[in-house]
Amino acid sequence: MKLSNVPSHFRIPKLSYRVWKVWMRDRDVLMKTYKTTFLPPLLEPILYLLAMGFGLGGFVQLIDGESYIQFIAPALVAVSMMFSSFFECTYGSFVRMYYQKTFDAIIATPVSLEEVIAGEILWGATKSLINSTIVLGVIAAFGLTPSPLFLLIPPISFLVGLLFAAIAMCFTAISPTINSFEYPTFLFITPMFLLSGTFFPLTALPASLQILAQLFLPLTHAVTLARGLVLGRLELTLLLNLAWLLLVTPFFFVLSINLMKKRLIK
C-alpha cells in the first residue's frame, strides 16, 4: 500500500436513509426463499449438539463446572453469527455484484455505491441476527440457557454480524474471482471456528496463542460474550470484549466501503 493511498481508504462515506432500500431488497429475496434459507441454521446446531454435546461430551470432564454440551452451546450461537454474516457478504455479495450486476442496476438510481455497500453489510448483520437467534432458540429448547441474560444476545449478534460482514466485504472488494474466497475461509474463518474458545477453553492454548486469539480473532470476543450471557456470569472483562467489537467494527466498515469504491468506480 502506498502511503498516499492511506487516507482514501479511510474516508468517511456519505450515507443516507437509502441504505435501507438496499437492505429491503435483500430482505425481499429472503422472504421469497425462506423455506430453504431457514433450514440450515435450524438443523446445524442440533447436529452439533447431538454429535459433540452428547457424543463427544460423554468423554469430556466438566469445564468450569459445566457439562461439555453446556460449554459449547453458546459458542454455537456465536459461530452462527460469524458464518451467516461472513458468507452473506462474501459469496452472496459477490454474486450480486459480479454475476447478477445488481449493484450496477442500483447505482443507476439515486442510491450511491457507498449506500449499496453499507446496505449489504447491514443485511449481513441482519442475517447474523436472524440465524443466531434461531440457534439460540434451539439451545433454549435443549434447556441450555440457564440465565435469562441470554436475551441480550440478539443485539450483540447484530454488532458481531456487522463486523464479520464488513471484514467479508473487504475480501469481496479484493477477490478477483468467487473461488478466491477459499483463502479467507480456510486461513481465517476455519482457524477461528476452532481456536476461539469454541470447543475448548482458550486457557488450554499456549499463553502466546491466547493473546493472539484475543487480539486478532473477533470470534473469541463473540464467544466470550455469548457464553457469559448464557451462563449468567457477568464479569467486567465482558465490557472489554464489547469495547473491542465496538472499536474494530467501524474501522472495517469504512475500509470495506472505500475498497469497494476502488474496485467498482475506476
Binding site for another protein (CB under 8 A): 18, 21, 24-25, 28-29, 32-33, 100-102, 104-113, 265-266
What is the nearest approach in angstroms of another protein to the Cβ of residue 13? 14
Question: Which is closer to another protein, CB of 110 or CB of 143?
Answer: 110
Question: Which is closer to another protein, CB of 35 or CB of 266?
Answer: 266
What is the nearest approach in angstroms of another protein to the Cβ of residue 131? 19
CB under 8 Å to 103, separation ≥6 — which residues? 96, 97, 113, 116, 264
What is the nearest approach in angstroms of another protein to the Cβ of residue 239? 39
Question: Which is closer to another protein, CB of 21 or CB of 154?
Answer: 21
Distance CA 124, CA 166 (A): 8
Question: Which is closer to another protein, CB of 9 or CB of 147?
Answer: 9
What is the nearest approach in angstroms of another protein to the Cβ of residue 101? 4
Question: Which is closer to another protein, CB of 108 or CB of 207?
Answer: 108
What is the nearest approach in angstroms of another protein to the Cβ of residue 162? 23
Question: Which is closer to another protein, CB of 28 or CB of 64?
Answer: 28
What is the nearest approach in angstroms of another protein to the Cβ of residue 113? 8
Residue type, 171: F
Chain center to CA of 233:
23
